[in-house]
Amino acid sequence: MVIKYKNRMKKTIKGIKNRPRLCVFRSNKHIYAQIIDDSNNQIIASSSTLTQIIKKSTKLSNNCNAARSVGKNIAQQSKSLGIKEVVFDRQNKIYHGRIQALAEAVREEGIKF
C-alpha cells in the first residue's frame, strides 16, 4: 500500500510598511527578537538574551523572566523608532512558555499585534 502525502507548505508571514514583522526565535539556551521591514529586507531593531544589558540583569537566559526582559527591550526600541503596531511571527512554534512571556511583555509596553 502506497501512502501519498499532500504537499504542505508553511504559511509565510510578511509585514507591511506600517506594520513591520516582529520575528521571535527560540533556542534551548537563548531567545532572540527582531523587528524586520520586509519591503526593504532590513532589520530595524533587535534584542536577545545575549545583549549586554539583558545579560547583566538576568542570571539564566533560558527562562520566562529573560524572555520578558527581551520583550520589554524590543518594545522600547520600537517605540523610540515610532513603531506602534507589528505583525507577530513565532516561526511555527507553539504560543506557550517563553514565546508567550515575550509577547505579553511587548503588549504591556503598548505595542499592538
What is the CATH classification number for the domain harbouring 102? 3.30.420.100
Q: What's this model's pTM, rounded to 2 decimal places? A: 0.87
pLDDT in tens, 7-65: 555 678 888 888 999 999 999 999 999 999 999 999 999 999 999 999 999 999 999 99
How much is the pLDDT for 106?
Answer: 97
- Where residue 3 falls among pLDDT bands split at 50, 70, 90? low
Residue 11 lies in a domain: no
Sign of the dihedral defined by the CA atoms of residues 109, 79, 69, 45, in that order: positive
6 in any annotated domain: no
Question: In the chain, how many domains are there?
Answer: 1
Q: How confident is the model at residue 99 (pLDDT cuts 50, 70, 90)?
A: very high
Element housing 78 (H / E): helix 64-80
